[in-house]
Structure 1
Amino acid sequence: MLGIRRFLVSLCLIWVAAGAWADDRVLRLSAPEALTETGLLKHILPRFSLKTQVRVELVSDRPDAILGTEGRAVFEGVGQVWHLQVLNPDHPASDRFSGWLTSQVGKNTVTGFAPDGTALFSLPSARQVVAVQVEADGDAVLGLQVSRDKCSRCHVVEDGKRGFGIGSTPSFGVLRSLPDWEGRFAGFYVLNPHPAFTIIPDVTPPFPDSRPSPIVPVTLNLDELEAILAYVTGMPAADLGGDLVHQ
């Protein structure tokens, strides 16, 4: 009798383990009807599953992740910017989906969806991503200090300053000359290569365990981001000697 009980307990443990393993390979995703009706999810989810062996279930309750209006902006189309909100960041399937959707392969898959020959979705513009998060009314003096402390490892942040920054990286003055400079600075953390090493609490998602920051992360809060915007707003644009051609 004792042997049977041990067998049943062992069998239950095997079932529990098998269930946990199966859940690791299943993502419960919620998305509004307005998005599902476009056909985008039928286009991207099988490709994600083929690449990762993670099966996606579209659900209306208890999801692991949500495509909607909150979280990290991942693409835009049909009249709005779509965000990915991961509700269960410790779930391996959630981590795989977030990583794939924000990878170059995932982005290309989304922007390549063109059922009638015209792409319905594009990558989110920096200005739209941050419009509800920051305003350029910060402390310009603080912005200069934050720029020196946290941006000068790659950029020249002050006109006339030499010996700082990376030669192939544009200076703040050059960036200020671009017609979309405000969106670039306000949403720099979603523009490559910044997402790989930038942390803004309550805005950027945590780095996946499988893809830690390749360098010491740059961490700043929204007040510091506003301060940088205020500083750059008041600085002169670099004179490049001719009309700029934005590519």
Structure 2
Amino acid sequence: MTRLIVLIYVCLSFAPIARADDRLVRLFAPAELVESGFLKHLLPRFSLKTQVRVLIVSKGQAHDIAFGAEGVAVFVGPDTAWHMQVLAPQHPGVQRFTKWLLSDVGQRTITSYAPDSVQMFDLPREPDTDSPELEFVGDVATGRDLSRQLCGRCHVVSETERMNDIGSTPSFFVLRTLANWADRFQTFYVLNPHPSFTQVQDVTAPFAHTRPPPIVPLEMTLDQLEAILAYVARLEPADLGAPLQHQ
């Protein structure tokens, strides 16, 4: 009986620690970004929505996410393109933060930081160059239907379904504003959380018997992915606010 009581005490003692770790994300950001005041605007709004706390750490300290010159481009300003490097992709809090930052709500939070009524940060946009426009050979109508069938349970994929998304999941229209949108769609099956439930024929390895997918699997072929890309390429990128302004 005594051993049972001790075992229960030990389990209860360690359980809150694990949950606390899941709700704490350590973020490194260069001094100029911290001093801009932007993170004091951004991070509390994420924490209020998710109950996940983000702790800013100093250079050299262990961290789960870093803002800097490497990784995925997430915002621009002032005069700097900021990227996000994810060092702990399996951390539940990190996954929530990255999904939130790329969601409609997160994107609006980025562009709404305007001290003295001057917008300081904007979203990455495709450069205005003469580079050839990306073309995909898939059938657009088929891509639209596949997007609704395979992706519509989490993402808004068409104008008629604007209110049917998961709040923390970016719409196809928001994703189209990103300079690397095509890369993201072409390799989506390796970007969290997709690997845990996605199978692309002749590309991804089968799920391990000991780790089945947490939801109904998403299964597709490369030809179907090409059709989805052709459809997404025709979408008008979301209007996420006024262009970046400088004083």
TM category (shorter chain) comes to 0.5 to 0.7
Please say if residues 95 and 208 of structure 1, whose CA atoms lie closer than 8 Å, have aligned partners that are also in contact: no
TM-score (norm 2): 0.58
Equivalence for 2:116: 116
Query: What residue in structure 1 maps to residue 53 of structure 2?
Result: 55
Q: What does residue 222 of structure 1 align with?
A: none
Question: d(CA) in 2 for partners of 1:127 and 1:214?
Answer: 33
Indicate the SS of the match to 1:84.
strand
Q: Please give the residue correspondences for 1:154-193 in structure 2 after superposition, counting only pairs within 5 Å.
A: 154=140, 187-189=180-182
Match of 2:100 in 1: 100
Question: Is the deviation greater in 204-213 or in 8-17?
Answer: 204-213
- Cα separation, 2, equivalents of 1:185 and 1:94: 20
1:57 CA drift (Å): 0.9
SS of the residue 2:73 aligns to? strand
Q: In 1, distance between residues paired with 2:178 and 2:108?
A: 24
Question: 2:192 aligned to 178, 200, 206, which one?
Answer: 206
Question: 1:185 & 1:111 partners in 2: Cα distance?
Answer: 14
**What are the ranges of 5 or more consecutive residues in structure 1 without an aligned counterpart?**
138-142, 156-163, 170-183, 220-247
SS of alignment partner, residue 127 of structure 1: coil
State the AA in 2 paired with 1:118: V
Work out the CA distance in 2 between the residues paired with 1:186 and 1:26.
30
- State whether structure 2 residue 139 is matched by structure 1 residue 153: yes
Specify the alignment match of 1:84 in structure 2. Answer: 84
- How many residue pairs get aligned? The number is 173
Indicate if the aligned counterparts of 2:75 and 2:83 stay in contact, CA closer than 8 A.
Answer: yes
Q: 1:28 is matched with which residue: 26, 29, 32? A: 26
Instruction: Check the 8 A contact 1:25/1:54 in 2, yes or no.
Output: yes
The amino acid across from 1:103 in the alignment is S
CA distance in 1, matches of 2:90, 2:111: 28
* 8 Å CA contact 1:72, 1:205 repeated in 2: no
Residues 83-118 of structure 1: CA deviation (Å, up to 9, x unaligned): 111111111100000001011110110111001111
**Amino acid of the structure 1 residue aligned with 2:85:** Q
Partner of 2:14: 16
RMSD: 4.0
Give the TM-score, by structure 1 length: 0.58
- Deviation of 1:207 (Å): 3.7
Instruction: Give the fraction of aligned pairs with identical amino acids, expressed as a percent.
Output: 39
8 A Cα contact 2:28 2:65, kept in partner? yes
Q: Following TM superposition, by how much is the alpha carbon of 1:67 offset from its aligned partner in structure 2, in angstroms?
A: 1.2
Look up the equivalent residue of 1:153 and give its one-letter code. Answer: D
